[in-house]
Amino acid sequence: MAGGGTERDRLQALDNFLEVAVGYAWGMPLVVLLIGSGAFFCLYVRLRPLFHMGHATAVTLGKYDSPDDPGHISHFQALSTALAATIGVGNIGGVAIAVTQGGAGAVFWMWVAAVVGMGTKFFSCTLSQIYRGRDERGALLGGTMYTIELGLGKKFKPLAIMFCTFGLFGCLPMFQSNQVAELLNAQFGLDPILTGVGCVALVALVAFGGVERIGAVTGRFVPVMCVLYLGMALCVLFVRSDIAVEVFGRIFREAFTGTAAAGGAMGIGFQQAMMIGVRRAAFSNEAGLGTAPLAHGAAKTNEPVREGLVAMLGPFIDTIVVCSLTAFVILSSGLETVGEISGVSLTADSVESALGAPGRALLVLIVMMFAISTMVSYSYYGKRCFAYLFGAKRDGLYTWFYLLGIFVGAWWSASMVINLIDTALALMAVPNLIATLLLAPKVKAAAVDYFDRLRAERRGA
């Protein structure tokens, strides 16, 4: 008993520490930095990338692909890998947490963070192509650490080391295994330890194969799971179409006025709704955190701006489309005010209230697909950070650490997992945004040149 009590005390102490840490890491300064820098990036290029969504789609679908371009994966595979990491449990359980912690108004701030995040991703992923380096094996790679070292110079390398150090933890998919374990335990009474073992086995089959295998798997996986989830959410939208206007009204109204928290115990103010919305949007679409450049830096292209445009589609698909549908499913059910239900279980209960048991069963399947795809993609992100710090020849060691993180995440408490990952991601965002802001003129020059050439090409045609 004494030993058990000591173990519980240690976990509680760690939980308390992480709660304090995430409070400092995700304070108003970081929220302002994320929103402010994203708005700056959009205005700095006069919103031109946002007006080229059609062209970005054409690039993604392979219109400009060339097998002779330098890199390892296609534009579509790069976006699929990034989306596999972003479109995951965060879109289902993360949105539920945002609504219960920040009220309906948090959804509005998720939208704001997504729109400006499109600008951030355009800049950071363009830079990941401009500044590509080679690892010990000679592989051509991009990412925030190479952007910092090659773009800003050796004196800024401590920022690259900071990014990769926290990337070792921020890229652990503990939240995914945690939420899958929670759902399977609630649905089937499955022991979280067994869920952890199962997730480890599935991810190991792909994670050891490198970016080519990850890109091939996610390129097939992501479209299927997105169609399934969108179809299910649209069915709920159809069933509850009579209250759609009311739901959207709540989102806009409570974004600035606040609301009652779950159970009505205390009020949620404007600032809390904004901070929670921005945090959950960043967790969901990763704009500004620096993870997506690791995938987009591996794309085959000799036009950096093209990959920036492809990356820009990520926050739109992830947050504006997928997260918005999740928010509607939850808010239309009214279950967000029940304090005992949170995370993915709240979304599952909300779906079941509209579509019955078949809807819940479908959501369980979709959550499994979302979680596995995210776990697979994040393995590449963490491995690249490890390789930068300790050498590419040792990066296989990180895969074992990564698999251990999946297992631990399955039985840790949700609060510990969320606070650990959120803190690490916040500390990854700082060096990424500093580098992207300092190198913004490079992206602007490349963008002006590319869009001018594209306009001349269209006129000539």
Confirm whether 4 is domain-assigned: no
Could you give the C-alpha distances from 181 to 30, 124, 174, 197, 296, in angstroms and in order?
31, 34, 11, 10, 30
Question: Within 13 A of 174's CA, how many CA atoms are on the CB side?
Answer: 25
Report if residue 5 sits inside a domain: no
Number of Cβ atoms within 10 Å of the Cβ of 447: 23
Cα separation, 326 vs 329, whole angstroms: 5
Ramachandran angles phi, psi of 36, nearest 5°: -65, -45
Closest CA to 360 of 173, 238, 186: 186
Report yes or no on whether pTM surpasses 0.75.
Answer: yes
Q: Say what the pLDDT of residue 25 is.
A: 84
Residue (of 220, 269, 260) closest to 372 by Cα position: 220
Domain presence at residue 7: no
Q: What CATH number does residue 67 fall under?
A: 1.10.4160
CB atoms under 10 Å from CB of 62, counted, come to 11
In angstroms, what is the C-alpha Rg of the chain?
A: 21
Whether 157 maps to a domain, the answer reads: yes
Q: How many CB atoms lie within 10 A of CB 257?
A: 13
How many domains are there within the chain? 1
Residue 10 maps to a domain? no
Q: Is residue 2 domain-resident?
A: no
pLDDT confidence of residue 207: 63
Enclosing domain of residue 420: 15-460
Query: Residue 266 has what pLDDT?
Result: 42
Three-state SS annotation for the chain: CHHHHHHHHHHHHHHHHHHHHHHHHCCHHHHHHHHHHHHHHHHHCCCCHHHHHHHHHHHHCCCCCCCCCCCCECHHHHHHHHHHHHCCHHHHHHHHHHHHHHCCHHHHHHHHHHHHHHHHHHHHHHHHHHCCEECCCCCEECCHHHHHHHHHCHHHHHHHHHHHHHHHHHCCCHHHHHHHHHHHHHHHCCCHHHHHHHHHHHHHHHHCCHHHHHHHHHHHHHHHHHHHHHHHHHHHHHHCHHHHHHHHHHHHHHHHHCEECHHHCCEECHHHHHHHHHHHHHHHHCCCCCCHHHHHCCECCCCHHHHHHHHHHHHHHHHHHHHHHHHHHHHCCCHHHCCCCCHHHHHHHHHHHHHHHHHHHHHHHHHHHHHHHHHHHHHHHHHHHHHHHHCHHHCHHHHHHHHHHHHHHHHCCHHHHHHHHHHHHHHHHHHHHHHHHHCHHHHHHHHHHHHHHHHHHHHHC
State the pLDDT at residue 260.
Answer: 45
Tokens for 125, please give them: 């992923």
Residue in the structure block whose two tokens are 């990959």: 307
Contact indicator for 103, 259 with CB cutoff of 8 Å: yes
List C-alpha distances in Å: 353 to 101, 172, 236, 288.
Answer: 21, 33, 9, 36
Q: Is residue 144 part of a domain?
A: yes
- Per residue of the chain (461 residues), what is the pLDDT tens digit? 445 567 777 778 888 888 888 888 888 888 888 889 999 999 999 999 999 999 999 988 888 888 878 877 788 877 876 776 667 677 787 788 788 877 888 889 889 888 989 999 999 999 999 999 887 777 788 899 999 999 999 999 999 999 999 999 998 888 888 888 888 888 888 999 999 999 888 888 766 665 566 666 666 667 787 888 889 999 998 998 888 888 888 888 888 775 544 433 344 566 677 777 787 777 667 778 888 898 888 888 899 999 999 999 888 888 888 888 889 999 998 877 655 556 778 888 889 999 999 988 888 888 888 787 778 777 788 888 999 999 888 888 888 899 999 999 998 888 888 889 989 999 999 999 999 999 999 999 999 999 999 999 888 75
Residue 156, in any domain of the structure? yes
